[in-house]
Amino acid sequence: MRIVLISTPIGFLGSGKGGGVELTLNSLVTGLLSLGHCIDVVVPKHSKLFDINKDAKLHFVEGVEQVSWQHQDYYSPASIPDNSLLTGMLEKAIDIGKNADIILNFAYDWLPIWMTLNLNIPIAHIISMGSESSVISNLISKVYRKYPYNFAFHSNTQACDYPFIKNPIIIGNGFDLNTYIFQSNKDGPLAWVGRVAPEKGLEDAAYVANQLGEKLNVWGIIQDESYASKIEQSLSSSTIVWKGFLETDKLQKELGKCRALLNTPKWNEAYGNVIVESLACGVPVIAYRRGGPSEIIQHGETGFLVEPNDKDSLLSYLRIINKINRRDCRNWVENNASTNIFANRVVKWLTKVIQKN
Ligand code: HBI
């Protein structure tokens, strides 16, 4: 198939601002290319894909970014700024789409979802978050009634945020496992990976490390400075070691040395890319039973799930984390979340969308 992808309009690919979408989009492109499909990607200027994706055709668009829905009020209206990047990306995708089989949208935004009703080219949407906006959820509900096949989600828990979706199409996620090297060392430091912002709940992981008198290695873009410094001030010692946002290759090398990843989301994490990245390196995960991570972690085999916000349970499972066989963590990813498995699920979905549109 010839597929035109629309990337997220908040930050360019490689900036870290697009959160999980950056990795998901790159992984999907890798998988689709290896299955022989022809891929065009419409991206903000300065975007770059992983080297392995050099055969994908990039189309750069300039303009004013959308404001992230994560950091807007749930009832905010959808806004389109002057010289809108999103509008430019959509126009470009529609133009290329005239000679393609389907458009695949990653933007969690009103305009591309609304265009499903108004294009004669099929446009499918990977919904990358739980419900972060009333206007977006209501629009998905309206479009879904006419185009029930055009929406896919990363996890069942995430899809539950959209209760009007009867049989949600779940595509999971996938990663290029050649870029993650398994490491067997069992007594390394503690890790936390993610955008440093309130919805990610870093404070709980920091509390646990502090209780153990240990350091907590934190990788990820510091999206909310005041949130980050507030956590630091709340801790006695300098518990947190800020490692910044690392490219996948460097991240996996350091993450693989850790004995456990703590995952403490305060929101309905749609999937949990960092969980799979950690497992791919052999690092077991202790996470809140919330969102996508609760469907990824096999309790007692690849890590442990605790009731949300229960920091003391995080602590008690951390003490027995060495019971987990690190090889089981890697095996789960190979059997459930490779780029090949992910791309095949997406191709099956897109084929159905084309048939039904
Ligand atoms: N906000 N407006 C908007 N559009 C997006 O595509 C978007 C977002 N916030 C977060 C986001 N995408 C991704 O980082 C997450 O879906 C992973």
Q: 257 CA distance to ligand 1 centroid (A)?
A: 30
Query: In this structure, are 163 and 131 located in the same domain?
Result: yes
Range 243-260 average pLDDT: 95
Q: pLDDT band for position 267 (50/70/90)? A: confident
Query: In this structure, are 113 and 230 located in the same domain?
Result: no
- Of 43-47, 209-213, 267-271, 313-317, the poorest mean pLDDT is in 267-271
- The reply to whether ligand 1 has any atom less than 6 angstroms from the CB of 7 is no
Report phi then psi at 162, rounded to 5. -120, 70
Residue 180 CB partners (closer than 8 Å, separation 6+): 248, 252, 256, 277, 280, 281, 333
Q: Is the pLDDT of residue 151 over 90?
A: yes
Q: What is the pLDDT of residue 9?
A: 97
- The reply to whether ligand 1 has any atom less than 6 angstroms from the CB of 217 is no
Ligand 1 site-directed mutation target among 5, 8, 245, most atoms within 8 Å of CB: 8
Query: In this structure, are 156 and 56 located in the same domain?
Result: yes
- The reply to whether ligand 1 has any atom less than 6 angstroms from the CB of 277 is no
Distance CA 278, CA 281 (A): 5
Residue 231 CB partners (closer than 8 Å, separation 6+): 202, 203, 206, 240
Range 80-98 average pLDDT: 98
Q: pLDDT band for position 210 (50/70/90)? A: very high
Range 313-335 average pLDDT: 97
Query: In this structure, are 64 and 155 located in the same domain?
Result: yes
Buried b (16+ CB within 10 A) or exposed e, 110-119: bbbbbbbeeb
Q: 17 CA distance to ligand 1 centroid (A)?
A: 9
Q: pLDDT band for position 17 (50/70/90)? A: confident
pTM: 0.91
Range 113-123 average pLDDT: 97
Q: Is the pLDDT of residue 18 over 90?
A: no
Ligand 1 site-directed mutation target among 10, 23, 61, 90, most atoms within 8 Å of CB: 10
Range 297-326 average pLDDT: 97
Give residue 29's domain range: 2-175+338-356
Distance CA 220, CA 49 (A): 18
Query: In this structure, are 162 and 244 located in the same domain?
Result: no
pLDDT tens digits, 164-203:
999 999 999 999 999 999 999 999 999 999 989 998 999 9
Query: In this structure, are 242 and 134 located in the same domain?
Result: no
Query: In this structure, are 297 and 186 located in the same domain?
Result: yes
Q: What is the pLDDT of residue 175?
A: 95
Query: In this structure, are 131 and 6 located in the same domain?
Result: yes
Query: In this structure, are 69 and 100 located in the same domain?
Result: yes
Q: What is the pLDDT of residue 122?
A: 98
Closest C-alpha to 342, from 1, 29, 9, 17: 29
Q: 18 CA distance to ligand 1 centroid (A)?
A: 6
Query: In this structure, are 191 and 293 located in the same domain?
Result: yes
Q: How many domains does the chain have?
A: 2
Q: What is the pLDDT of residue 24?
A: 95
- The reply to whether ligand 1 has any atom less than 6 angstroms from the CB of 194 is no
- The reply to whether ligand 1 has any atom less than 6 angstroms from the CB of 265 is no
Q: What is the pLDDT of residue 27?
A: 95
Q: What is the pLDDT of residue 19?
A: 77
Query: In this structure, are 152 and 218 located in the same domain?
Result: no
Range 38-61 average pLDDT: 97
Query: In this structure, are 132 and 7 located in the same domain?
Result: yes
Distance CA 48, CA 45 (A): 9
- Of 80-89, 242-251, 337-346, the poorest mean pLDDT is in 242-251
Token output for 183: 């490491």
Residue 51, domain CATH:
3.40.50.2000
Q: Is the pLDDT of residue 269 over 90?
A: no
A 10 A CB-CB count for 76 gives: 15
Residue nearest ligand 1's atom 9 by CA: 68
How many residues are recorded in the chain?
357
Closest C-alpha to 136, from 166, 162, 118: 162
- The reply to whether ligand 1 has any atom less than 6 angstroms from the CB of 111 is no
